[in-house]
A and B are shown apart, each in its own frame.
Chain A
C-alpha cells in the first residue's frame, strides 16, 4: 500500500492541475478577495493542499479503534501531504515550462503566460516550483493543525475564515448596501482592488469568530430559554428555527431596497428558480419521483401566459398575431395557466408514472427535450414564433403599476414564492404529504396500507407542474420576450441541482439552493462560464458526501443518515476484513 501522504497529496495536486487547466487559476489572478495579495487564483491554489492536510490529519482507524493524532504528529503528516500536493503541481509546472506554454496552449487554451507567471510567483521556474511546494506545505500544515485543534478553537476559526471569504466574494453586493445606508465603506472594501482591505478582513474575521465563540458558549442556554418561551403544545417547528426564519424573511424583504436594481435583477431570477424549486421539490422531494423534464412545465407556463395575454410573434414574414391569442389580464390568466399545466401534468403523467424510478427519469427527460425541440422548430412558427420567439408580454400591471422594473418584479416573485412555499409546507403536513412520504419510502408497503399510489403520484405531478408553470409565467413577465434558448434541458438540471443542494424535501433548502446556485454566479460575472461546472461538482459532491443537502428536511435527513451510517459500518468492516454486520440490524440499532 502506498504511503498515506502520497495517496492524499498526489490527488490533491492533480486537482490543482485540473483547476489550472480549466482556467480557474489563470483567469482570476486579478480578482482579489483580500487586499492585493489574496486573489481568487491564490485561493484555488491553496485550497487543495489545505484539504489534503485536513484529510491527512484525520484520525486513523486501526483494528476498529479510532486513533486521534496528537498535534505534532498531525502537523507533520499534514505538512508532508500538503508538500506532496505542491510537488505534484510543481512538477506539472516545470514540465509545462520545459515543453513550452505556447505549445500546450494549442491544446489546453487556459495555459496562458499569465497563469505561468502566477504559478511561479513571477520568478524563474525552479525557484517558483520550490515556492509552490513551500506554500503548499504551509497550507497543508494549517489544515492539519485546524483538524486536530480542540473544538473551542476550531469552530470560531472555521467560521471566521468562511465569513471572510464570503465577504470577499460579495464584493459587488455589500459595498452597495453600505452606500445605500450611507455608511463608510472604504475601510472594509478596498476602492483600488475591489476586495476586502486587510483591516476589513481582520474585523470581519474577528466579529465572526466572536459570534461563533459566544454562540457555542451561551448558545445552549439561550436555545433552552427560547424554547421555554415557545411553550409546549405550540407548532411543530422549534422557536429557534422560527427566529432564524423570521430574520431570513426580513433580509429577503429588504434586500432589493439595499442592493439597487442590478442585483435585484439577479435576485428576481433567484426567485423564479426558487419557485421552480418549490414545485420540483414536491415531485422529487416529497413524492420521490425523479423528474428530469421539468422544463416542460416551465416552457408551458411561459408560452401559455404569452398566448393568453396577447403577446406577438417575433418571426418575419408572417402576421404578428399568433394562431391562438387571448387578451386576458395577467391575474386572470395565471389560474388558467396553472390549470392547463396541472391538466397536462395529469395527461403526461398517467401513462408514465407506472414506471420505475430511473425509467421515469428518462421518459420525463425525453418529454422535456421534445418541448425544447418543438418550440424551436419551424413547424410551430405560427403558434410560438419558432427560433425567433415572442415579444410584448404583459408586465402584470395592477392599474398602471407595472412589474417589469427589477425591484418591483422581485416583490411580485417573492409574493408568489411565499404563497407556493406556504402551500407546499401545509401540503407536506397534510394527509397527502404523509401519503407521499410513505410512498417514497416504500411503495409496495404504502400500496398495501391502502394508499392509492398512482393517484398520489399524479397529484404530486400535477401540483408540481402547476407551480412550475407559475415559475414560467413569472419568467415571461420578467424578461418580456421569449426565445427557445431559455427552455433548454439545462433548466431541468439546474432546478434539480438546487433542490438537491438545499436538501430534498426542504423548503428553506430550496431557497438557499437557489441563492447559492443561481445567485452567486449571477453576482460574480467572471464566474458565468464556470457555473455549470460548479453545478455538476456540487451535485456529485452532495450525493457522495451529504445526501441530505445543506438545509435538510428533518425527517428526510434522519432516514438518509441512518442508512448512511449503516453503510459506513458495513464498509468499514469490509475494509478491515471482518464479517460485515447485517445492514438491516445496523439500521435498526441506530434508529
Chain B
C-alpha cells in the first residue's frame, strides 16, 4: 500500500510512470495472464481428477513450442508464413498441439499410471524427475541455445481497440484464450466425456462402477491439458519470439500458482487466477516496489509470483473460488 502510494506520488522525472505506461503494463499483463490461464487449466484438470500435481506440465508446454518452432521456421524461410499467415499458423498450432498431447499422454502412460495407487508424494516426486528428464531430453535433441521464433508480418505492430493501443499479438492471445476457455467450459459441462470427467473427479471408484472407463478419462484429461498447452505454447512463442529448453519452468510455476490462486480443480478459478497472476507480474513490481527506490523492479517479478503462491497457500489454501478450506491430510 505504502509502496503503491509512493510510486504514484513520484513525478515522471524521478522515475515514475506515465498513464500510458500503466495502460501498457495492464494490457501486457492481461495477455500474459491469458497464456498462464491456459497452462493453468492443464494443472487444474489433472489435479481435479488425479489429485496430483503434474509438475512436468511446463515441459509439455515447452515440447509444443519446440515442435511448432521447426514448422514455423521452415514456413518463414519459404515465405509461406507471410503469404498465408492464417493457414500457416493453423498448421503450426496443430503441430504444437500434437506434440504437447503426445508428450502429456506418454508421460501419463509411462510415469504416472504405474503409480496410480502409490502414496501421494510418490507421483509428485516422479513428476519432478520427469520434468527434469524432459527438459534435458529436449536439450539433447536441439541443443542448449535459444532459437528465434518467427512472427508473421501481419502480427507486427499495434492497433487501437476502444481507444487503447494494443499490440496485435496481444490481441490475438486474448481472443484465442477466451475462445479456448469457453469451448473447454462447454465441453466439460455438456458433453458425455465431460460428464465422465466430472464423475471421475468426484469419485473415481464409484465412477468406474457406473461403467466409466477411468483410464480412458484420465488419458483424455491429459490430452486436453496438452491441447491447451500446445495452443498456449504457440501464443507464448509468438509473443516472446524465442524458444529454449528451459522455457517451460517459469511459466509452469506461474501457471500453477494461478491454478492454486483461483482454486485448483475449477476451470473458472484457473482462468481467473491466470489473469490475476499475469496482471500482478506486470503491474505489481512497478506499482509496489518502485516507490521504495528499489532498482530494476522487473527482475523481482518472479519472486513476486512465489510470494503470492506462498501467501495463498498459507492463508487461503482453497483459492479464491475454492471451498475456502483445503483438506488437511
Give chain A's interface residues, CB within 8 Å of chain B: 18, 21-24, 107-110, 288, 290, 292, 351-352, 354-359, 361-363, 365-367, 369-370, 373-374, 376-379, 443-444, 489, 493, 496-497, 500, 529-530, 532-533, 535-540, 543-544, 547, 563, 567, 570, 583
Contacts and interface: CB of A to CB of B under 8 A. Distances in A.
B306 A537 contact: no
Interface stretch (B17-25, B86-94, B321-329): B321-329
Given A22-B137, A109-B142, A540-B130, A366 B309 contact: yes
Contacts of A351: 314
B306 A352 contact: no
A231 B165 CA distance: 85
A496 B127 CA distance: 13
A435 B147 CA distance: 52
Nearest to B140: A22
A21 B136 CA distance: 12
Contacts of A539: 125-126, 128-129, 132-133
29 contacts: A288-B121, A290-B121, A352-B313, A354-B314, A356-B329, A357-B124, A358-B121, A358-B124, A363-B313, A365-B253, A366-B305, A373-B302, A377-B303, A378-B296, A379-B295, A493-B132, A532-B132, A533-B132, A533-B136, A533-B139, A535-B129, A535-B132, A537-B129, A539-B125, A539-B126, A540-B111, A543-B115, A543-B129, A563-B119
A533 B257 CA distance: 26
B302 A369 contact: yes
B136 A379 contact: no
Nearest to A19: B140
A354 B325 CA distance: 12
Contacts of A290: 121, 124-125
A253 B327 CA distance: 49
Q: Which residue, A110, A363, A567, A583, has most C-beta atoms of chain B within 10 A? A: A363
B304 to A, nearest CB: 9
A292 B128 contact: yes
Nearest to B142: A109
A535 B139 CA distance: 14
Given A356-B329, A536-B136, 19 more contacts: A22-B137, A22-B140, A107-B142, A110-B141, A354-B328, A356-B328, A357-B120, A359-B313, A366-B257, A370-B303, A376-B299, A378-B296, A378-B299, A379-B294, A500-B125, A529-B140, A537-B133, A543-B129, A563-B119
B267 interface: no
Contacts of A443: 329
A18 B310 CA distance: 38
B317 interface: yes
Contact of B300 (A377, A497, A529, A547): A377
B211 interface: no
B122 interface: yes
A361 B126 CA distance: 13
A369 B306 contact: yes
Q: Which residue, B70, B128, B329, has most C-beta atoms of chain A within 10 A? A: B128
The main secondary structure of chain B at its interface with chain A is helix
A507 B114 CA distance: 28
Contacts of A18: 137
A351 B257 CA distance: 18
B253 A357 contact: no
A423 B302 CA distance: 37
A370 B302 CA distance: 7
A168 B133 CA distance: 25
A444 B329 contact: yes
Interface string B60-103: 00000000001000000000000000000000000000000000
A358 B120 contact: yes
B125 A496 contact: yes
Nearest to B299: A377
A544 B114 contact: yes
Nearest to A492: B128
B307 interface: yes
Nearest to A292: B128
Nearest to A547: B122
Given A365-B253, A533-B140, A378 B295 contact: yes
Contacts of A354: 314, 328
B162 interface: no
B215 to A, nearest CB: 11
Nearest to B129: A539
B167 interface: no
A355 B313 contact: yes
Interface string B130-167: 11111111011111000000000000000000000000
Nearest to B250: A369
Contacts of B260: 359, 362
B133 A536 contact: yes
Contacts of A369: 253, 302-303, 306
Contact of B131 (A288, A496, A536, A567): A536
Interface in B185-215: none
Contact of B126 (A367, A533, A543, A570): A543
A356 B327 contact: yes
B135 A370 contact: no
Contacts of A365: 253
B13 interface: no
B179 interface: no
A352 B313 CA distance: 8
Q: Which residue, B124, B139, B140, B294, has most C-beta atoms of chain A within 10 A? A: B140
Sorted nearest first, the 8 A-B pairs with minimum C-beta distance are: A536-B133, A539-B129, A22-B140, A536-B132, A366-B306, A533-B136, A373-B303, A540-B129
Contacts of A352: 310, 313-314
A23 B139 CA distance: 10
Contacts of A361: 53, 121, 124
A363 B309 contact: yes
A255 to B, nearest CB: 29
Given A358-B124, A379-B300, A535-B132, A21 B140 contact: yes
Contacts of A288: 121
Nearest to A107: B70
B2 interface: no
A443 B327 CA distance: 13
A583 B117 CA distance: 10
A367 B310 contact: yes
A534 to B, nearest CB: 8
Contacts of A583: 117
B141 A22 contact: yes
Nearest to B314: A351
Nearest to B327: A356
A309 B329 CA distance: 44
Q: Which residue, A290, A535, A538, A540, has most C-beta atoms of chain B within 10 A? A: A540
Contacts of A370: 303, 306-307
Nearest to B122: A543
A366 B123 CA distance: 19
A24 B137 CA distance: 11
Nearest to B315: A351
A359 B115 contact: no
A321 B69 CA distance: 47
A570 B307 contact: no
Given A367-B306, A373-B300, A362 B53 contact: yes
Contacts of B120: 357-358
Contacts of A355: 313-314, 317
Contact of B137 (A376, A533, A570): A533
Q: Which residue, B121, B129, B133, B313, has most C-beta atoms of chain A within 10 A? A: B129
Nearest to A108: B141
A190 to B, nearest CB: 29
Contacts of A540: 110-111, 126, 129-130, 133
B1 interface: no
A110 B129 contact: no
Contacts of B327: 356
A532 B246 CA distance: 13
A490 B148 CA distance: 26
A544 B141 contact: no
B256 interface: yes
A356 B125 contact: no
